[in-house]
Structure 1
Amino acid sequence: MSKRARQGRVVVVGSINTDLVAQTTHLPFPGETLGSVRFSQAGGGKGANQAVAAARFGAHVTMVGCVGDDENGDERLYDLEAEEMDCAGITVTRDRPTGLALITVSHEGQNTIVVVGGSNGELKPADVLRQEALFSRSDVIVCQLETPGETAYASLKLARQLGKITILNPSPATDPLPPEWLSLTDYLVVNEVEALILSDIPFESENDMGRAAEQLQHQGACNVIVTLGARGAYLLQEGGNGRLFLAPRVEAVDTTAAGDTFIGVLAAQLASRQTIAKSIERGQLAAAISVTRRGGQTSIPKREEVDN
C-alpha cells in the first residue's frame, strides 16, 4: 500500500522479537521430547505484530521499541521498514540481544509460546517520553506487556495527556492491573485467560465473560473487549452496553499472531475514525484469514485481502 493511501496514525509501543517456530504433531506433554515436522524463523513480538497488522491495513504506523545490536536486530529493523512504517522510535542496545519467542504449533493449529525478553526489557519510560512529538501527531496509541510495565504506563499516561485514543493489551497477564492504568485505557483488549487473571472471575458459561468485562470496567477501563477465539469477541462499551460479535468460520492451521492481527486492525480502523463495531468486525475478518496460514507475522493479511 502506498504511503499516499494511508489513513490514520498509530503508534505501537512494544516488543520486537525473532520467532523460532516448531511445527509438531501435537503440543508436548511435560517431560515429552518431540521431533519437529517443520521449522521456521521470522519476525515477531506482540508489539511488532500489531504494528505490522495496522500498517498492512492502511495506517501510518510508528514503532517504539528496542532491539539488540545483533543480526536478529538488523533483520527485524529491515522487516519493519519494508512495511513502510516509521522506525525512528526504535532503540538499538548493546546490553541485551534481540528478544526471542520459542513457539510450538500443533497439527490442530494450537500453540504454546515461551518469550525470552532480551532487549525488550531495555525499553524505558524515558525512551517513550522522547517520542512526545510522534505521540502528538498520532491518533491511537497501542501498548502490551512484553516490555517493562512502567514503560507501558508512561505511554498510556502521555497518550492521555495528549488526548489520544489508547488501547492496552495486557499480555502476558500475571496479576490484576493497577486502577490508574485502567483509568488511562480507552479500549482494554483481553483474551479469556487474561480476563480471568485480571478480573478473578472464572469462565464457566457465556454469562461469565460479561461479568468479567463488567468487573474490568468497574476497575476503570472505559471499553472492554474479550476475544474468544473461534467463538468471536465480546464488547462491553462505556455505559454498560454489551454485544457479542460472532467470528467467521474457518479451518485454523496456526493461531499464532491472530490476537495481534485483531488488535492491529482495530487500531488502524479506530485511527481512521471508523465505529467500534466496524473496527471489531474488520479485525475479526483479518484474524480469521491469519489463522488459515502458518506463521506469525507472515500470516497477517493486507487490507485488500480482507476487503475481498
Structure 2
Amino acid sequence: MKNILVIGSFMTDLVFKTERIPVEGETSIGSSYNKFTGGKGANQAVAAARLNGNVKMMGKLGNDDFGKEHIASLQAEGIGHQAVLFDPEASTGVGNVTIDQNGNNRIIVVPGANMKLSIKDIDRFEDVIMQSNIVVLQLEIPIETVYRAIELAHKHNKTIILNPAPAQEIDSDMANKVDYFIPNETEASILTNTEVNNLDDAKEASKILLNQGYKNVILTLGDKGVLFRNTSELNYLEAFKMKAIDTTAAGDSFIGSFAYGLANNWNVTKAIKLAIAASAITVTRLGAQPSLPTLQEINELMKQPIHA
C-alpha cells in the first residue's frame, strides 16, 4: 500500500445542536453540546487511517490542551505526527459548529496556529514529502504554504489531491500540478462563477475547471452524488440515500477514503464508490472524527442497494 501524507489543518470543534439555526438577532435553546477533534486536514488523515491506510500528518498546533488532544487523537489512529509542530504563541484552531434538526450546519472557524504553518516549515519536512506517494491538501492553512507543498510534491512526482476548501482563488500555475481537484458544489460555484444547482450545472462547472488546467475534477454534490471528469471521461455516480444527522466532515470522509483507494492502486471509479459510501455513513453520525467509518462498515453498506 502506498503512503499518504495529509498537509493541513487541525480544529477543535465545539458542536451545538438546535432545532433550527437562529436568524440574526435571535437566541435559540440548543439540545446538546459536544467537543471533538477536527479540522479538514486532520479529518482527512483520520478518514484514511481508519480504513487501515498508511498515513502521516503535517500541520501546526497551539501549545495548549487542545493541541495535546489532537496529538493523542493522531496516536490513537496510528497516524505519524513527526511533522506536526507546536507554535509557542498561537492557539490551536477552533471551530464553532451549529447543527439543525435536519443535519445542516453553519460553521465559524478561528484558524489560530494553522495560519502559522509556513513555507519554511514545508521545506523543513521535504523528506516527509519524498517518503510519501500521495499528498492531500486543503485551504485552511496559508495559500502560499499550500503552493510550496504542491511545488515540492510535484518536484518529487507525487500524486497530489487538492480540496479547495474553504474556497478561494487559486494561482493558475498550480492547476496543472494537481492530479485530483475535489470541490463541492458551493466551492465549484465560487471558483467558476457558475451556479451549481443540478447535474447539468455540475457538468458545466467541471468543464470550466478542466479548462483552468486541473487534470481530473471530482465534483461532490452531497446527496445528489458525484461527477468525475477529465479530458477523456465524464462519469456520474449516485449517492446513497441516508437520513442525515450531521453533515460535518462528509467531504473530508470522501477525500480521505478516496486517497485510501488510490493508495491501493484502485481505478478512480472504484475509489470514488468507496468514498461515496464512507461519506454516506459519516452524515448519519454526530461530530467530525467520531463519525468517520471503518472499512468493515463501508463494505457492509456497499452490499446494499444504493437506493435503499
In the alignment, what sits opposite 2:293?
Answer: 301
Q: Which moved more, 1:24-33 or 1:68-77?
A: 24-33
Distance in 2 (CA, whole Å) between partners of 1:57 and 1:97 is 30
User: Is structure 2 residue 189 aligned with structure 1 residue 161?
Assistant: no
Match of 2:228 among 227, 231, 235: 235
User: Do 2:185 and 2:197's aligned partners in 1 also have CA atoms closer than 8 Å?
Assistant: no
User: Is structure 2 residue 246 aligned with structure 1 residue 254?
Assistant: yes
User: Is structure 2 residue 125 aligned with structure 1 residue 131?
Assistant: yes
List per-residue Cα deviations over 1:66-115 (Å, max 9, x = no partner): 00000110111111111001000100011200000000011100001111
User: Is structure 2 residue 87 aligned with structure 1 residue 93?
Assistant: yes
Percent of counterpart pairs with the same letter?
A: 38
In the alignment, what sits opposite 1:213?
Answer: 206
In the alignment, what sits opposite 1:27?
Answer: 21
Q: Which moved more, 1:14-23 or 1:194-203?
A: 194-203
Distance in 2 (CA, whole Å) between partners of 1:28 and 1:270 is 41
Change (3 A) 1:304 1:97: same
User: Do 1:19 and 1:102's aligned partners in 2 also have CA atoms closer than 8 Å?
Assistant: yes
Amino acid across the alignment from 1:67: L
Amino acid across the alignment from 1:46: K
Distance in 2 (CA, whole Å) between partners of 1:143 and 1:263 is 10
In the alignment, what sits opposite 1:183?
Answer: 176
- CA displacement at 1:44 relative to structure 2: 0.4
- CA displacement at 1:206 relative to structure 2: 2.1
Distance in 2 (CA, whole Å) between partners of 1:112 and 1:17 is 15
Change (3 A) 1:81 1:192: same
What aligned pairs does 1:253-292 form with structure 2 within 5 A after superposition?
A: 253-292=245-284
List per-residue Cα deviations over 1:191-241 (Å, max 9, x = no partner): 11100110111225421111111111101100001100001110002x242
Does the residue aligned with 1:251 lie in a helix, a strand or coil? coil
In the alignment, what sits opposite 2:306?
Answer: none
User: Do 1:109 and 1:253's aligned partners in 2 also have CA atoms closer than 8 Å?
Assistant: yes
Distance in 1 (CA, whole Å) between partners of 2:265 and 2:197 is 36
Distance in 2 (CA, whole Å) between partners of 1:242 and 1:95 is 48
User: Pairwise CA RMSD of aligned residues?
Assistant: 1.0
List per-residue Cα deviations over 1:1-23 (Å, max 9, x = no partner): xxxxxx32100000011000000
User: Do 1:9 and 1:268's aligned partners in 2 also have CA atoms closer than 8 Å?
Assistant: no
User: Is structure 2 residue 64 aligned with structure 1 residue 78?
Assistant: no
- CA displacement at 1:125 relative to structure 2: 1.2
The count of aligned residue pairs is 300
Does the residue aligned with 2:29 lie in a helix, a strand or coil? coil
Give the TM-score taking structure 2 as reference length. Answer: 0.95
Amino acid across the alignment from 2:225: G
Amino acid across the alignment from 1:18: T
Structure 2 gap ranges (5+): 301-308
User: Do 1:104 and 1:111's aligned partners in 2 also have CA atoms closer than 8 Å?
Assistant: yes
User: Do 2:91 and 2:113's aligned partners in 1 also have CA atoms closer than 8 Å?
Assistant: yes
Distance in 1 (CA, whole Å) between partners of 2:295 and 2:244 is 20
User: Do 1:46 and 1:146's aligned partners in 2 also have CA atoms closer than 8 Å?
Assistant: yes
